[in-house]
Structure 1
């Protein structure tokens, strides 16, 4: 009976060591999981400040660069104006005036297919006075091709 008590006491002294090892292992696993999550975290640089929008069926283009837009095309005059930016959950709108006409460029997160079948990440509506132009948009300023 004495030997049974001694064995029992030996087993009890081992339990705290195993518990300490388990706690250290769990802490290490939590720390590694936290480090992995931080390493895979996406960095958000804030709202997109530049866009290139273009017509799908008509030839026009709008370059958005911060607080100004430049409009080019055959169906409307070419101009550059300052604009106000208004963001909403699925997009952004840029509003200004040219020749006493309202100019609104509304870019939303709906993907768009252009005339060549290429997918763009955004859809756009350009309102110039009472004219409405539909098209696609991409983040950044896309330079024109040399011709």
Structure 2
């Protein structure tokens, strides 16, 4: 298993050859309804046998990091992607925001990482963690 980071001016052809299925195939589109890609997004893709088996994506804004999807059909890969995402931002001193689907989230994990619940809706929990130096 390798984990590859795509950010800034990355090879779009390589990127979409790996994750295109998540954007196009019906079985993923229903799970990842709001999946999109923008120039300022940072992706970590788990690759096995030249095929994506999971990914995580986030966006760094001026004063905030927004965590978006983390997805894999294998729980251990999702856990590793989350770990790598926190490692990648360890030296960025900005607040972090994440919106979680209530039915799929492990709220304890996020609270242990220092996040607080800012609000809830019928289907989502909205969390935030203020800026801090290290996530090692």
TM-score (normalizing by structure 1) = 0.27
